[in-house]
Structure 1
């Protein structure tokens, strides 16, 4: 039994420590952690998971925008999250619940770059959860727009 518990603890400590500024902290029902039961990510760690980009129009900007970041699906896979609900929170304490099943390939992106430039806090950054709004009419809804959290800094994973 001790062996199973010990190996379970070791498996939970699989993420490296951030070396740069922590941009995103994920808490709750996650399998991989690096800080007191949570997962802290700097930009380099997010990039290491995988970089994806897409272009889309938004209701907040003029014209099509090019976003670069990590897909929500890839980030959750890195943490061993397969079901439940995400409580996404912004620097200004805005929060909204997002079903985990919305994190699909070709779906939402946690963007750190817009049109080739890092996003400042004043420009909806440093992280913005964006959807490829142009690819699916379902993404062009008030619900999706409300889930498009800018200044994203925390996600709490809640399992059913």
Structure 2
């Protein structure tokens, strides 16, 4: 009888651990925070999750990047579209990553090259371990000059915040 009870307790502990692991993995959701002054001079502070970003018009961009093997197709929202949705037209945009890396880009640069905030690569959602969940991607195939080191540094992966200044 004690062996049966011990087995039942072990099974119960395993079930509880599985439930806890599933619940905790679902609870963690990364977001993207956007801030800046809108065209009316009012402060905008918005935090979006992936499904909210997906409600904005989506764009597909196919390119080679030095960090991945071969050409990849990225899906996401254009940074210009996202900023315009909140009436933000900055002169500079500061982007920060989960690991505290940051890079800035001028509005002129962003308008010219129209990077996207990629949510998917090759039809798969980006994960933190593979540059996600959000990655600012420019098309090196369309604009070879973006392959220069100074421009590659603007492709912030694990993007967490965007400050329109």
Q: TM-score, normalised by structure 1?
A: 0.78
CA contact under 8 A between 1:22 and 1:40: conserved in structure 2?
no
What is the root-mean-square deviation of aligned Cα atoms in Å? 2.1
Task: Assess if the C-alpha contact under 8 Å between 1:46 and 1:70 holds in 2.
Answer: yes
Matched, 1:94 2:94: no
* Deviation (angstroms), 1:37: 4.1
Instruction: Tell me by how many angstroms 1:31 deviates.
Output: 5.3
Retained in 2: the 8 A contact 1:119–1:126? yes
1:155 matched to 2:162? The reply is yes
Displacement of 1:21 in angstroms is 4.1
Pick one of 16, 37, 44 that aligns with 1:29. 37
Deviation at 1:29, TM superposition (A): 2.0
Compute the TM-score of the two structures, normalised by the length of structure 2: 0.75
Distance 1:31 1:44, change over 3 A: farther
Higher helix share: 2
| Greater Cα radius of gyration, structure 1 or 2 | 2
Total equivalences in the alignment:
136
Q: Which runs of 4 or more aligned residues in structure 1 lie more than 3 Å from their structure 2 counterparts after TM superposition?
A: none
For residues 83 and 156 of structure 1, do their structure 2 counterparts lie closer, same or farther at Cα, with a shift above 3 Å needed? closer
Checking the alignment, whether the CA contact within 8 Å between 1:129 and 1:152 is kept in structure 2 is yes
Q: Secondary structure at the match of 2:141?
A: helix
Mapped pair 1:45 → 2:36: no
Q: Unpaired segments of 5 or more residues in structure 2?
A: 1-27
Segments of structure 1 that go 5 or more residues without pairing to the other structure are 1-19
